[in-house]
Amino acid sequence: MDKENKNIRGSSHLVDPTMKYPRPPFKRQFQPFPGLASKMIPVPDHGEESYIGSGRLIGRKALITGGDSGIGRAAAIAFAREGADVAINYLPEEEPDAIEVIELIRKAGQKAIAIAGDIRDENFCKKLVDQAVQQLEGLDILVNNAGHQKTHESILDISTEEFDRTMKTNLYAPFWIIKSALPHLHPGSCIIGLSSVQAYDPSEDLYDYAQTKAATTSYVKSLAKQLGSKGIRVNGVAPGPVWTALEISGGQTQENIEKFGGDTPLGRPGQPAELASIFVQLADNNASFANGQIYGAAGGSGQP
């Protein structure tokens, strides 16, 4: 067998997860919040070159908050390549990242809707859902992915304004968006929330953020019980360290950026692309018995 065939058919085609993606040390880097994925070193992999769809979400209509970059972008690319139309929300400063995602969704042959705006505003959350429903002509997948994380050495360093930003983005916004979306969701629809390993093993420097992730796990499980009988499934994803703009725009100390993900059993952080199939699985009709579940993706640690 020649070398090329051996790579395709033989065991050498297996991919070693420890070596699949960059490992620490990473270059120290800081961008003002919210940061751009396109300016990160290295640029994260959101599945742009690798995700191959197989028609799992044909005809579906998804709204993803924070769909411009990171985990949300990976979900947006995968949903589109599985046949769903996708609306993404992001902050106006993130337009360059958002434009790339919109182009990728269109290239997959799907409708792409870009809705910029700040989800800390209840009125905007209502408008966001209304616009998405109108332009997608319906809605059946809602991913509350947007999040704010900022490291603070001491609780004394967290201003009320900063605490409020974390709570508004991570908890109030999903509350407002779900309330607006619910009247449009029919049996078979699903809601996906973004929890974290921080929900189970909170870091000392993420006092405010960690409690929002514990609350997310809790709202997912509560809502799954409330909406189960209506045929609407609610699940969560709990990532470990993933290489995204959130981390290099204040989410971690520079010291942690340098060694980011090195303490996982795989010895590296995850890339957004490695989580995409979880979102597809949770949205797929085939996952019809998955309700109130939290799916982990943490490279060997974490405990959802």
Cβ-Cβ contacts under 8 Å for 66 (sequence gap 6 or more): 72, 88, 89, 90, 145, 146, 147
Residue 209 annotated as catalytic = yes
Token pair, residue 100, equals 């790339």
Report the partner that residue 244 touches, choosing among ligand NAD, Mg ion, none (CB closer than 5 to 8 A by kind). ligand NAD
Token pair, residue 269, equals 């952080």
* Alpha-carbon gap, residue 213 to 198, rounded angstroms: 6
Please tell me whether residue 285 adopts helix, strand or coil conformation. helix
Instruction: Find where tokens 């790339």 sit.
Output: 100
Annotated catalytic residue within 21, 200, 209, 295: 209
Figure out which of the listed residues 69, 151, 166, 212 binds Mg ion, where binding follows CB under 5 A: 69
CB of 67 to Mg ion, least distance (A): 9
Return residues touching ligand NAD (CB under 6 A).
34, 37, 65-66, 68-72, 89-91, 94, 118-120, 145-149, 169, 194, 196, 239, 241-242, 244-247
Nearer to ligand NAD, 118 or 205 (CB): 118
Residues in contact with Mg ion, total (CB under 5 A)?
4
Nearer to Mg ion, 145 or 264 (CB): 145
Beta bridge partners of 190: 141, 233
Report the partner that residue 113 touches, choosing among Mg ion, ligand NAD, none (CB closer than 5 to 8 A by kind). none
Nearer to ligand NAD, 103 or 288 (CB): 103
* Alpha-carbon gap, residue 61 to 142, rounded angstroms: 9
* Alpha-carbon gap, residue 229 to 42, rounded angstroms: 45
Report the partner that residue 273 touches, choosing among ligand NAD, Mg ion, none (CB closer than 5 to 8 A by kind). none
* Alpha-carbon gap, residue 22 to 8, rounded angstroms: 23
Provide the annotated active-site residues.
209
Return residues touching Mg ion (CB under 5 A).
68-69, 94, 245
